[in-house]
């Protein structure tokens, strides 16, 4: 969810939010279970959290896009109208960014990235949860 928010997603460098979601899922699975979680169990919990997280990102990104798209379009239109000496390549790129037709491609590419990163980093986060919290369980 945090990866879809406009300013908060900056902290997702090195997939921090995704790995943190895997750690949180592993921690909660250990707290809920009667037996300590194994490394394989932590990896599976993290994997599931990564897959679910990609779908949550997609829904959140769609909602944010609906709210932010008109604002972005106005900002870019103002930038284009006020910058007389803007190179044509930059002008074309900015117009492409505001084009509503490119939104599905952007969202699809973002979803694929979130899915791949979620599978890798949330799985690692689940294993880290076992390493961090597994030995403390009584």
With contact defined as beta carbons under 8 Å apart, do 97 and 76 qualify?
Answer: yes
User: Does the structure show a pLDDT above 80 at 123?
Assistant: yes
**Across residues 25-36, what is the average pLDDT?**
90
Give exposure, 95-114, as e/b (b: 16+ Cβ within 10 Å). eeebeeeeeeeeeeebbeeb
User: Does the structure show a pLDDT above 50 at 138?
Assistant: no
**Across residues 18-35, what is the average pLDDT?**
91
User: Does the structure show a pLDDT above 60 at 6?
Assistant: yes
User: Does the structure show a pLDDT above 70 at 8?
Assistant: yes
User: Does the structure show a pLDDT above 60 at 80?
Assistant: yes
Single out the residue of 125, 124, 113 nearest to residue 54, CA to CA: 113
**Across residues 48-72, what is the average pLDDT?**
90
pLDDT at 2: 67
**Across residues 59-87, what is the average pLDDT?**
83
User: Does the structure show a pLDDT above 50 at 137?
Assistant: no
């Amino acid at each position: 969810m945090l990866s879809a928010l406009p300013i908060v997603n900056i902290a997702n460098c090195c997939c921090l939010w995704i790995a943190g979601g895997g750690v949180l899922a592993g921690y909660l699975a250990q707290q809920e279970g009667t037996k300590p979680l194994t490394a394989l169990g932590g990896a599976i919990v993290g994997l599931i959290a990564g897959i679910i997280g990609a779908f949550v990102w997609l829904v959140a990104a769609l909602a944010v896009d609906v709210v932010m798209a008109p604002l972005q379009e106005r900002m870019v239109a103002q930038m284009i109208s006020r910058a007389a000496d803007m190179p044509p390549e930059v002008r074309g790129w900015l117009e492409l960014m505001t084009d509503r037709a490119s939104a599905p491609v952007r969202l699809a590419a973002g979803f694929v990235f979130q899915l791949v990163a979620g599978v890798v980093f949330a799985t690692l986060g689940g294993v880290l949860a076992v390493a961090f919290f597994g030995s403390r369980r009584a």
